[in-house]
Amino acid sequence: MLTNETAMRATCDAFFGAVAGRVAGADLCFERSTRAEVERDLDGGTRVTAHASRGGLVARLWDAQGRCLEVGLGEPGPMDVKLRVEEALEALAPLAPDPEFALADLPNRANRHFGSDSVPSPAEQRAPERIAVLVGALEAMVGAASSPASVLQLRARVYTEVEEKVVCDDRGLWRTQSIASSFLQVEVQARGEATRGRWVERVGDVATLDVLCGPGGEPTPRVEAAARKAIARAVRMLEARALTEVERAALTHVIVDASAMVFVHEACGHNFEADIVLAGHSGLFHASGAPVSERVGSAAVRLVDGPLDPTDGVPRGFGTHFIDDEGVEVETVVLIDAGRPVDCMHSRETAGRLGRQSNGHGFSDIGQPRLVRMTNTSLVASAPQFQQDDLQAFLSGIALGLWVEGSNGGEVTGDGMSASFQSGRLVREGRLTDEWIRPGMLTVRTRGALLGVEAFHGPPRFDRLGFCGKGQTKTVSEGGSTARIRLSEDFVVGC
């Protein structure tokens, strides 16, 4: 049972009582998050948020003429909500009728709770104390690795959060979800005699603080490994160099590590969000939902969005939810298979307009209207023949290539994006060298970004965690298997 679920039922009942007989249908989504967070600046200053809570209710009303209004109501009680209903009905009445409006049916209307029956709050996890110990351990690691030749500084952000959600409607639906998420970003900056180095690592999952630290705040092996990598790479970047003009001209391939696949989310994934498709803003689909091209990637490409395959029966991935904010169970959706567009991500509304079923991708920031959003987006091999587990075989035939790793985001353009990478290593005559290259950019065009993919290496990884903005913020991750991509005018390296 959720915290204060009885009071929330009373508010929802009051809402549905107030709209009964006055609209064709109505639904609600209520979310509340409770968070503890610590931020540590490079100069050692620390900001501690021991407790932060926010919540909100979003209501959707529609009438028989297809007028639909979705509006945030804040956190009203049973008496206040009736006044808010009257305001919403006044706003609904002058809207233009929309004969194409439809909400796809819920595939399953069974009332149930998703997630753990009891998720400990940040206070119950002793989060502020444990996070303080964790940050102290990171400071000690960075301090021990610092030297006169490479002076190191640490910036860190750590939080743990519990989110509770209710989705209900005027037909008796009552679905709830309790989910924890925890996140760490550790940034190490190195200062040499004449150069600078920097590296950022992120660790996170839909899990309690235990994913980041032990009962006393000691770092988990996963966090310790991420911190050591950030230290080593920041120092390594002190010796990195730029590509020469000759090398730039001779590059034929880029090898994109899973940690550098932000372009998979920005340049590719957004174009499969059905609200963007319907608005006519997708680079891969017409507004009718028909693909612009029969092929959007090579035969090696499969692009997928959804919860990660669990090994213990519990969905994983930083962007994971059990249900979306319309109460639909979140499905794993194959967007591209063997290079061909297969499906889009849908909310109930976009699915209704296109005659499809929702696949559970309707999400909102707390108290905001629901939009189609990604969860965990992965680029993987479409068939076993495109998966090379042997590194030598994977790199065979590349005269000069660049293996890129890490990303700090990028800039989206009208037909693609420029995405950063944190480091590069040269591949010469099919072998990965120890020649390190400074940070740079990958510039890709949406329609051709995946056409040059030739092969994949290693199991899928999701090291790139993020917070996607689409007028709202949602946790996401992107990754997959390391991809070998032939350079072209659609995929360019700049560094």
Residue 439 · residue 398 · CB < 8 Å: no
Residue where a domain terminates, one of 239, 267, 302: 239
Which among 154, 151, 221 has a CA at the least distance from the CA of 191? Answer: 151
Percent of the chain with pLDDT over 70: 98
213 and 259, same structural domain?
A: no
The pLDDT of 460-473, averaged and rounded, is 91
The pLDDT of 289-317, averaged and rounded, is 87
254 and 217, same structural domain?
A: no
Domain enclosing residue 36, as ranges: 5-239
319 and 431, same structural domain?
A: yes
Q: How buried is residue 275: exposed, middle or buried, by Cβ count under 10 Å (0-12/13-18/19+)? A: buried
107 and 253, same structural domain?
A: no
325 and 186, same structural domain?
A: no
Q: Decide: helix, strand or coil at residue 248.
A: helix
294 and 147, same structural domain?
A: no
pTM, to two decimals:
0.95
271 and 301, same structural domain?
A: yes
Residue where a domain terminates, one of 210, 239, 268: 239
Confidence at residue 311, expressed as pLDDT on a 0 to 100 scale: 63
Q: Decide: helix, strand or coil at residue 32.
A: strand
Q: How many whole angstroms separate alpha carbon 490 and alpha carbon 257?
A: 18
Q: How many whole angstroms separate alpha carbon 8 and alpha carbon 172?
A: 14
Identity of the residue numbered 120: P
257 and 193, same structural domain?
A: no
Q: How many whole angstroms separate alpha carbon 158 and alpha carbon 147?
A: 26
Letter string b/e over residues 218-249, b meaning 16 or more CB atoms within 10 A of that residue's CB: ebbeebeebbebbbebbbbbbebeebeeebee
297 and 319, same structural domain?
A: yes
pLDDT tens column, 59-68: 999 999 999 9
- Categorize the per-residue pLDDT at 314 as very low, low, confident or very high, splitting at 50, 70 and 90: low
157 and 32, same structural domain?
A: yes
Query: Residues 245, 249, 423, 296: what is their CA dihedral angle, to the nearest 10 degrees?
Result: 150
CA 339 to chain centre: 23
CATH code, domain carrying 205: 3.30.2290.10
257 and 147, same structural domain?
A: no
Residue bearing the bigger pLDDT, 312 or 73: 73
Number of domains in the chain: 2
163 and 258, same structural domain?
A: no
Residue where a domain terminates, one of 239, 267, 290: 239
Confidence at residue 408, expressed as pLDDT on a 0 to 100 scale: 85
Confidence at residue 494, expressed as pLDDT on a 0 to 100 scale: 84
* Strand ranges in 173-318 using DSSP code E only, listed in sequence order: 174-191, 196-205, 253-256, 301-305
